[in-house]
Structure 1
């Protein structure tokens, strides 16, 4: 037995040249990419700023952290959550018809190709660019963040929806058809039970992403807590910046815990 294993190992395909070629290409790409990196000369200043941020997180401003007015951290976090939630909800609903039109097992090839092309075009543009575009349309504020999150959600959610639709077990539909069920009954008892858990898990995952993106979008005036954060950092008010960051960390951890519990419940039933 050992001799057979040794013989099989000795007769294995030799791909040394291929491995060396790939290694050289990867190393060349790393070196070429590293040539574009420029080390800043203000290393001491950068470390000092990083220390100030850390000190602000360790010593947050209590008045801002527990301020219940519209300038306080709780209200700004609530606004950020609302932007992410509504943006996820609207984008997920709009993604449903687009996903069914793009599913190759339900639609003819040309129609599915056009649908996938639209989804690809939506996914190409970053959320930051969408935010700058919608600010010109609706002005700065939470509504701009809602529009941005909605459009950004369509691209990813549609892609995940399509995968769930194309993985449908058609044998269940054939069984219902043999039982004499009509189209609505086949949708109710054969399609929706298969799609709803996957759809819900995708929506929850996208909400996690949108919650972080909504914070970044605040930097361009799309509502949420991002704008006060950048203003506090630009003004070197590190205690205020620390209060906002502490609130963000607590919010993300809380949402992550709840969403994980829900996804596990959906996966295991």
Structure 2
């Protein structure tokens, strides 16, 4: 037995040369990449600014934090939340038919390729660029942020939806077809139960991403809390910065807790 194992080991192909060459090639690529990175010297007051930001977080402006008017943190966070939520919903509504049209196991290959090309094209452009484009079209405000979030959601959501559709168990559909079920019944009892957990998990994950992206889009005037944040930082009002960041942290933690509960419910049924 030992001789057989030893002979098999000795006759095994020697791949250490290829692994060594691969490691050398990766090291060369890393060295070449690092040569393009230039570390700039920090400004003289960089540490002071960082300290002011941390001090602002621990000493927030309570008047702004508990201001429930349209200029308060609560309203701005609600606006950001609404932009992310509605953007996810609109993107999902558009993604569902687009995903079915792009699934090669349900549609002819030419149609599926066209759909996949459209989805890839949408995913290529960053959200920041979409925001600047829509601001030029609709003007600054939450509506531009909503359109941006919707279009950005289509790319990722459609891609994940297609993967779920491709994993459909067709045997269930064949059983329902043999039982004489109608098309609506096959969709209701054969397709939706398989796709619903994956679809909902994708939407929850995309909503988490949209919530963060909506904050960044506010920097270019697409609504939300991003614009007041950058204005407060530009004016060195660190207590206001701390209030806004503290509100964002609390909002993200709450959304993460709710998302985890929903995912657990979907997983366990």
Q: TM-score, structure 2 length as denominator?
A: 0.96
Q: Give the Cα–Cα distance (whole angstroms) in 1 for the partners of residues 227 and 8 of structure 2.
A: 64
What residue in structure 2 maps to residue 221 of structure 1?
221
What residue in structure 2 maps to residue 54 of structure 1?
54
Which runs of 5 or more residues in structure 2 are unaligned?
A: none
What residue in structure 2 maps to residue 242 of structure 1?
242
Q: TM-score, structure 1 length as denominator?
A: 0.96
What residue in structure 1 maps to residue 76 of structure 2?
76
Deviations 1:211-232 (A, max 9, x none): 0000000000000001111111
> Are 1:200 and 2:195 matched, yes or no?
no
Q: Give the Cα–Cα distance (whole angstroms) in 2 for the partners of residues 175 and 166 of structure 1.
A: 18
Measured after TM superposition, the shift of residue 79 of structure 1 is 0.3
What residue in structure 1 maps to residue 181 of structure 2?
181
What residue in structure 2 maps to residue 258 of structure 1?
258
Measured after TM superposition, the shift of residue 78 of structure 1 is 0.3
What residue in structure 1 maps to residue 66 of structure 2?
66
Measured after TM superposition, the shift of residue 42 of structure 1 is 2.6
Q: Give the Cα–Cα distance (whole angstroms) in 2 for the partners of residues 76 and 39 of structure 1.
A: 36
* Structure 2 counterpart SS, 1:106: coil
What residue in structure 2 maps to residue 137 of structure 1?
137
Report how many residues are paired: 269
* Structure 2 counterpart SS, 1:230: helix
Q: Give the Cα–Cα distance (whole angstroms) in 2 for the partners of residues 62 and 9 of structure 1.
A: 71
Cα distance change of structure 1 residues 82 and 9 upon mapping to structure 2, 3 Å threshold: same
Matches within 5 A, 1:81-160: 81-160=81-160
Which runs of 5 or more residues in structure 1 are unaligned?
A: none
3-12 vs 222-231, greater mean Cα deviation: 3-12
> Are 1:211 and 2:211 matched, yes or no?
yes
Q: Give the Cα–Cα distance (whole angstroms) in 1 for the partners of residues 182 and 43 of structure 2.
A: 70
Q: Give the Cα–Cα distance (whole angstroms) in 2 for the partners of residues 7 and 140 of structure 1.
A: 73
Deviations 1:151-193 (A, max 9, x none): 0000000001111111111111111111111111111111111
Q: Give the Cα–Cα distance (whole angstroms) in 1 for the partners of residues 245 and 132 of structure 2.
A: 24
Q: Give the Cα–Cα distance (whole angstroms) in 2 for the partners of residues 177 and 196 of structure 1.
A: 21
- Give me the CA root mean square deviation: 1.4
Cα distance change of structure 1 residues 62 and 176 upon mapping to structure 2, 3 Å threshold: same
